[in-house]
C-alpha cells in the first residue's frame, strides 16, 4: 500500500509531499512536465483532484484535530 500523498490546500500556492511512513511533510517543487504537471495546472485553475484518498479535510490547527474537532 502506498504511504505517500501529494497535497495542496485551496487558496495556497504550493504542493506538498506527505510521507506517512516517515512522518514527514515537505514542499514539492512545481512539476515541469508529465502527468503531475497536468494535474497541478488543473488544480491551479480551481479543479479539485482526488485519487485514492477517502478522507481529506482542512482544519485551523493540529490541536483541533487531536482534540477530535472537525468543523465541516
- The reply to whether 72 falls in a domain is no
User: Counting Cβ atoms within 10 Å, is residue 52 exposed (0-12), middle (13-18) or buried (19+)?
Assistant: exposed
For 26-49, the pLDDT digits (tens) are 999 999 999 999 999 999 999 999
On whether residue 62 sits in a domain, the answer given is yes
Does residue 55 belong to any structural domain of this protein?
yes
pLDDT-derived band at 24, boundaries 50, 70, 90:
very high
Q: Is residue 71 included in any domain, yes or no? A: no
What is the domain extent for residue 27? Answer: 4-66
What is the reported pTM? 0.82
Spatial distance between the Cα atoms of 40 and 60, rounded to a whole number of angstroms = 24
Structural domain tally of the chain? 1
Amino acid at each position: 500500500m502506498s504511504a505517500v500523498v501529494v497535497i495542496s490546500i485551496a487558496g495556497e500556492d504550493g504542493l506538498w509531499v506527505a510521507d506517512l511512513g516517515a512522518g514527514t511533510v515537505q514542499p514539492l517543487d512545481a512539476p515541469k512536465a508529465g502527468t503531475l504537471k497536468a494535474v497541478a495546472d488543473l488544480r491551479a485553475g480551481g479543479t479539485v483532484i482526488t485519487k485514492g484518498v477517502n478522507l481529506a479535510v482542512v482544519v485551523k490547527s493540529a490541536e483541533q484535530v487531536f482534540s477530535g474537532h472537525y468543523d465541516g
